[in-house]
Amino acid sequence: MPHHILRLLPQQQGEEGEEEEENKQRWSVVGQPGLADPLTRRGRGGGGADDGSNIPAASARLDDVSELLGGALFLPLYKWMGEYGPVYRLAAGPRDFVVVSDPAVAKHVLRGYGTKYAKGLVAEVSEFLFGSGFAIAEGTLWTVSLLCKIIPRQIKAERAVTLIRKTVEELITKCKEIVDAEGEEVDGEEYVNDSDPSILRFLLASREEVSSVQLRDDLLSMLVAGHETTGSVLTWTLYLLSKNESALVKAQQEVDSVLQGRPPRYTDVKELKYLMRCIHESMRLYPHPPVLLRRAQVDDVLPGNYKVNTGQDIMISVYNIHRSPQVWDRSEDFST
């Protein structure tokens, strides 16, 4: 019987016949040929701790799988860190991931980007959304190979992406026409002008050097990546402050003292020391993104003597690192 990297374990059975029958019915569905295979199939990286990699293989109950597929990915990853340690292997369909929650291992992988590691899977998916924008640009772009079966949701998503790209292309074309008609020269000095710090000005400054397609991809990366990350940080900061009245009062008093009722300026940031501590703490508790994906380009040995093969997908759990009791005192608390 092959050793599955992710084993689906039945829930704890009681002594009552009714509960036993319920478990049998559950397995009569899950046990259908091919239904659970995508969650238990071996990935390219191979088996568990007994394969010479020194990486333990995580096991999950049925409830864990439901949470993994339909909920927040980082929550079960955090639970399994407590059970299997800071580095473990997790199967996900035809692939398996080495989940990393150790700062030294994460540093090793991230510093090896461009030589030993690439963005891999995240670049494949992001290319469909953003084209070859700077957010995912690396070496040779990976070919998207997972869109084999078109379903209604995918069709709807593709239409939305097409509309976004078309709108951005029209915006770039119109702005180019305006600039050319006025004979305006847009250069770096004009871009950094405080009175008109337009990101579009910066893009148009490169119109002779970069194609319209590249401008579109870069603008999409700026709009989506910049907006999403900033929005997430602000949302979680306000949420945490709303749950901590003393921190909220202290932050509000600092803002009132520094701004004196006027709109904030960039130069005020260095004076809002406590508010910045609140923002940094919210980014620790709720990092965005909570996980980073990389793919090994060569065989490698991670700190701790964990061995990975070429092509191995690695999932760095930023959420786990930021909440690890081995790294932080009172790791679950909002400490400012």
pLDDT at 173: 77
Q: E strands along 168-312, which residues?
A: 291-296, 300-302, 306-308
User: Is 90 inside any structural domain?
Assistant: yes
* 189-206 b/e (C-beta count within 10 Å ≥ 16 → b): ebbeeeeeeeebbbbbbe
Question: pLDDT tens track of the chain, all 336 residues?
Answer: 333 333 333 334 444 444 444 433 333 333 333 333 334 333 334 445 567 888 998 876 666 666 666 667 788 899 899 999 999 998 766 778 999 999 999 999 998 876 888 877 665 555 555 555 444 455 444 333 334 344 455 666 667 767 777 777 777 777 767 666 655 554 444 444 555 556 656 655 654 555 666 666 667 767 766 777 888 999 999 999 999 999 999 999 999 999 999 999 989 999 999 999 999 999 999 998 899 889 999 999 999 999 999 999 999 999 999 999 988 989 999 998
User: Is 254 inside any structural domain?
Assistant: no
pLDDT at 164: 74
Neighbouring CB atoms inside 10 A of 64's CB total 18
pLDDT at 239: 97
User: Rounded to an integer, what distance in angstroms lies between the CA atom of residue 320 and that of residue 290?
Assistant: 8
pLDDT at 306: 94
Q: How many domains does the chain have?
A: 1
pTM above 0.75, yes or no: no
pLDDT at 28: 31
User: Is 63 inside any structural domain?
Assistant: yes
Tell me how far apart the 2 most distant CA atoms of the chain are, in Å: 84
How far is C-alpha 334 from the geometric centre of its chain's CA atoms?
Answer: 22
User: Rounded to an integer, what distance in angstroms lies between the CA atom of residue 221 and that of residue 60?
Assistant: 36
C-alpha distances in angstroms, 294 versus 99, 168, 266, 313, 317? 11, 29, 34, 6, 11
Check if the beta carbon of residue 295 is closer than 8 Å to that of residue 314: yes
User: Is 124 inside any structural domain?
Assistant: yes
pLDDT at 156: 67
Instruction: Report helix, strand or coil for 97.
Output: strand
**114 lies in which domain range?**
36-148+288-322
Instruction: Report helix, strand or coil for 75.
Output: helix
Check if the beta carbon of residue 23 is closer than 8 Å to that of residue 75: no
User: Rounded to an integer, what distance in angstroms lies between the CA atom of residue 312 and that of residue 120?
Assistant: 10
pLDDT at 154: 60
User: Is 307 inside any structural domain?
Assistant: yes
User: Is 246 inside any structural domain?
Assistant: no
User: Is 279 inside any structural domain?
Assistant: no
Q: If you ran DSSP here, which 8-state letter would residue 12 be given?
A: P
* 242-262 b/e (C-beta count within 10 Å ≥ 16 → b): eebeebeebbeebbeebeeee
31 sits in which H/E element: none
User: Is 82 inside any structural domain?
Assistant: yes
Six-digit token string for 190: 């004009």
- 10 Å CB burial of residue 333 (0-12, 13-18, 19+) is exposed
pLDDT at 32: 33
Q: Assess whether the previous peptide bond of 76 is cis (omega < 30° from 0).
A: no
